[in-house]
A and B are shown apart, each in its own frame.
Chain A
């Protein structure tokens, strides 16, 4: 197979990811030049730049990268397991469950780690509901899981509107920010990265079977894939990735839907290339979106979810339009 070509592409995406992180370390209310950044990163002496880079900008850039990677990976997996190009990490209502629980926590004045735990519990509850109900008597058919998830998501949506309607005014702004995705108070970077790496390893291990699953579950089983096991495993992986990303960073939309398609449109659908490329591209996109969110109208911060949508929609339409013309 075209190993060299795919390595080149992955290398380029990796460089882009690094560049986006470096850029987001330089830019902010206080702009660092290349030399200052180098000093801030590697010199022993304490300085404003050092604090800024090590304690604020770098952690935030890495968080953005990891969350973007998680959502893109989860989206790519959901699309192929559900065999539906419209699927995204939120389609099964996992984010709805997380959001409902998070808003409920905010309504009771819970913040910080408590809020994250609440959101995660909500995501898990939603996941258990989807798989419990969709399982029924038989095995998980993609259509059943999809319908169950979409209906549950609609239910969570109504619940979210209800909480927003009964919340006092001073809570509303925080809630809306959370709903649109917010990276400003994420702390546990190492555990976040660990989840992404584990999720990626599981998914990559099954990358070739996923290529077969694209051709239908019967075709895949006839060619030696244990489809039920593959689906169950990757449903859980994708759901956990989504649950972790959403409970830490809120509902960041569009990344999980658009990035896998961007990769498919430009690189094809071999999952051994698609999955790592989606993580790198999704991460880079979210780092840049977050950079824009905190610097466009600084000192005001914009919700990053709005930026991802504003960036993602035209980018996606452009590439879709181009590939149509080529084929």
Chain B
């Protein structure tokens, strides 16, 4: 059974078609990378899958149930999303901000329990924000804010994680550490990751499946070997991209 699947999904923003009839099956244990040039619709597609905007046609199913028939709370218990941008006009503490990830699991009129706080502090520890609990969010650096958002997602701990450029603002160390952490977490919990990335090499390294968005075409879907050919990448990015390969790794670089 797929965790998340789409049937003949059509997504459009303004006059731009992102997909006409997309059939997608995301199974437990898979890691999907969404690649494509700026403005091709990666974020829009992720938001549509998260149920934050309605699709033009077709259906999205979460655990075999149509997304349109679930309420926001039911969706949030199974699927979470890391947003690319975020602004906070009202500063809150780091702990408070990460704690909102527990919201879908706490009843109305109830307060967070000690267990909720433990889950949250352990998520903060995993992203290297231990000791930051009482800091105000507006005093964090860009990378620390990004890690806080990841901690919020880990606190929510959904089966399916949609990640919009998770490596934004992160240094090399944290890019690797956090992607490894997310991958390990989702494999162990039989979940799935779907992430929009700009770095083809990271995608090759971490993803079992790739969806390459090409302007005015249906997305190209498959394993990295099938999708990431010189031809496909040239069409998608409009720039010649070379592949370098040896026994251990495949490496892409722009000409």
Contact = CB atoms under 8 A, between A and B. Distances in A.
A224 B89 contact: no
Interface stretch (B20-28, B68-76, B202-210, B235-243): B68-76
A205 B107 CA distance: 11
Interface string A203-233: 0010011011011101101111110000000
A214 B92 contact: yes
Given A270-B96, A272-B111, A327-B136, A222 B80 contact: yes
A3 B92 CA distance: 17
Nearest to B91: A269
Contacts of B166: none
Contact of B100 (A205, A212, A221): A212
A163 to B, nearest CB: 36
Interface residues of B, number: 36
Contact of B101 (A205, A209, A223, A264): A223
Interface of B is mostly: mixed
Interface in B86-122: 86-93, 96-97, 100-101, 103-104, 106, 108-109, 111-112, 117
B136 A224 contact: no
B83 A219 contact: yes
A83 B91 contact: no
Nearest to A80: B90
Contacts of B47: 218
A273 to B, nearest CB: 11
A165 interface: no
Contact of A223 (B90, B93, B109, B156): B156
Contact of B111 (A3, A205, A327): A3
A288 B139 CA distance: 36
B52 interface: yes
B50 interface: yes
A84 interface: yes
Nearest to B51: A221
B127 interface: no
Interface string A59-79: 000000000000000000001
Contacts of A223: 76, 80, 100-101, 103-104, 156
Given A216-B87, A218-B47, A1 B112 contact: yes
A205 B109 CA distance: 6
A222 B52 contact: yes
B50 A222 contact: yes
A203 to B, nearest CB: 13
B86 A216 contact: yes
7 smallest A-B Cβ distances: which pairs? A224-B76, A224-B104, A224-B73, A222-B81, A1-B111, A224-B72, A223-B103
13 contacts: A208-B106, A208-B108, A209-B103, A212-B100, A212-B103, A214-B89, A214-B92, A215-B86, A219-B86, A224-B75, A224-B76, A224-B103, A268-B93
Interface of B: 47, 50, 52, 71-77, 80-81, 83, 86-93, 96-97, 100-101, 103-104, 106, 108-109, 111-112, 117, 136, 139, 156
